[in-house]
Structure 1
Amino acid sequence: MTTPDAGALFDGLAPGYDGDHFHESVAEALVRGLPATVSPRLVLDVATGTGAAAFAALRHLDARRLVGVDISPAMIERARGRAAVQDADGRIDWQVGQAVPAPMADDAVDIVLCASSLHFLGRAALHDWLRVLRQGGRVAFTLPPAETFRPSGAFAKLVATDLPLPQDNGQAAALATAAGFEQANATRLDITGERPRSVFLVHASAPSRTA
């Protein structure tokens, strides 16, 4: 499936995306799971959608600058609309583009966020995040449990084949460790309601680079 086709699929989700509070709940829990950081200079939200994780980082981390990138122009348009209220001083830079490689220089980012999208991006995203993160920078991402994830239709074709979905916390954390991250840990988040769903929240650190 080509990039324009994938973008069009997610464009179709954009009008009702914010009506599903699952995404907001996941983004909030993902950001709250990060250690207290005093005003990170730059936060990258990969596959930002309508900006849930970026806005959570703005609230809880007091980030000085954020970049939210997504393949879907319609998602970014909705994020910019939300930003009129949630980012009045314009700290978030919204960009339409591919997630991998991220539109960032090497060693430039303090925190990388990726909520509800790594299963579409695959292992290349993990390695690219190591590229953009500064020494000791943090990554926070989610993955759905293998036993409950059942994508349908065209979206099933987008799921990465090189990144096995985890069955437990240990497997989720191990994916970060295998990619080269350190101090990886994972917890399972279960969202109840009319449509119960679960995700693993994974947090890890980029290693210090030695000469």
Structure 2
Amino acid sequence: MTPTAPHTTHHHHAQHDHAQGHGHGHGHDAEDEMAQLLDLDAEVLAEHIASIIEWLPVEAAPRRIVDLGCGTGTGTFALLRRFPEAEVTAVDTSSRYLRRLRDRAASEGVAGRVHPVEADLDGTWPDLGKPELVWASASLHHMADPDRILRQVHDALAPGGLLAVVELSGFPRFLPEDAPQDRPGLEERCHAALDDHHAEQMPHRGADWGPLLAAAGFTVEGERTITVNLGPPHSEAVGRYALNSLRRIRDGVAHSLQAEDLAALDRLLDADAPHGILRRDDLTVRTERTVWAARRT
């Protein structure tokens, strides 16, 4: 991965059709599939996530951290590794994700440092104490009124505390541009259809959070975009990450793809097919994440 220089104008889109715990599927199967995707995201991009946390301009190692929209704990566990004296309050709407997070915390011996809170942040704001650091990764664009959420985070933070807003550039790309052989450019057409689908549902998707943070009373101290380009060769986890991501995309675009594209996508998603995504040796992981660091002064 190659960090790019900080810059000030962004029109990014949020990744994964979820907000580290905000899936659009329905039922337990969809939630379990999303949990697997979140865990694969954490595994494949662990170094990338750690580099974002390392970059944060913390003035002193925080002892109290809040992870808003924690999902299965990607940010939670990365923050615990970076700040070994800290405790993390992990907030999500999904009891299943929080149970998964709680089980992992126990297996890693850090259960005493993780405090799961089930809450819908668009509803009644939970008591989160006075954290020195709040981490919001791919979650704010899902909120009905993110301006209100930012003001509440500002008021909840300890004086001098930091808010890290991380947004993602959409689902990662995995295939070469000329793939698959029978329908070149298929992945880009899927992404275009998904962007059209999401533009109607999430108006804050792709927002430049800098002005919104300033309007909520924060001082924006830094902004950085990190570009990821991994492989080939790739790990077995990348194959599963690609398969699960493209399955998720299919759920959102099946109604708008041409029949030939949908058939080609289904062939890629056949885990047993000789030319399926799991059998390809030319996969890469290409994505971007932008982080804003904003202080309560």
Q: Which bin holds the TM-score, normalised by the shorter protein?
A: 0.7 to 0.9
Partner residue, 1:61: 83
Q: Deviations over 1:5-30 (max 9, x none)?
A: 77856554013321224564554233
Which of 202, 205, 210 is the aligned partner of 1:173?
210
Cα-Cα RMSD: 3.3
Which residues of structure 2 form unaligned runs of 5+?
Answer: 1-21, 173-190, 231-283
Q: Secondary structure at the match of 2:53?
A: helix
What is the 5 A alignment of 1:25-36? 25=47, 27-36=49-58
CA distance in 2, matches of 1:190, 1:66: 27
Partner residue, 1:70: 92
Which of 194, 202, 206 is the aligned partner of 2:292?
202
- 1:44 is displaced (CA, Å) by 0.5
Q: Percent identity?
A: 21
Partner residue, 1:48: 70
Count of residues in Structure 1 that have an aligned counterpart in Structure 2: 197
Partner residue, 1:136: 160
Which of 99, 107, 112 is the aligned partner of 1:90?
112
- Does structure 2 conserve the Cα–Cα contact (< 8 Å) formed by 1:7 and 1:72? no
Q: Secondary structure at the match of 1:136?
A: coil
Partner residue, 1:125: 149
Partner residue, 2:226: 189
Aligned in 2, Cα 1:184/1:70: closer, same or farther, shift over 3 Å?
same
- Does structure 2 conserve the Cα–Cα contact (< 8 Å) formed by 1:43 and 1:112? yes
Matched to 1:187, the amino acid is R
Which of 124, 127, 136 is the aligned partner of 1:104?
127
Matched to 1:129, the amino acid is V
CA distance in 2, matches of 1:159, 1:32: 33
Tell me whether 1:156 sits opposite 2:202 in the alignment: no
Aligned in 2, Cα 1:17/1:143: closer, same or farther, shift over 3 Å?
closer
Q: Secondary structure at the match of 2:158?
A: strand
CA distance in 1, matches of 2:154, 2:193: 28
Aligned in 2, Cα 1:132/1:151: closer, same or farther, shift over 3 Å?
farther
- Does structure 1 conserve the Cα–Cα contact (< 8 Å) formed by 2:213 and 2:220? no
Q: Deviations over 1:32-51 (max 9, x none)?
A: 12235544231100001111
Higher normalized contact order (CA 8 Å, seq sep 6+, divided by chain length): 2
Matched to 1:71, the amino acid is T
Aligned in 2, Cα 1:37/1:87: closer, same or farther, shift over 3 Å?
farther
Matched to 2:198, the amino acid is A
Larger C-alpha radius of gyration, 1 or 2?
2
Task: State the TM-score, normalizing by the size of structure 1.
Answer: 0.76
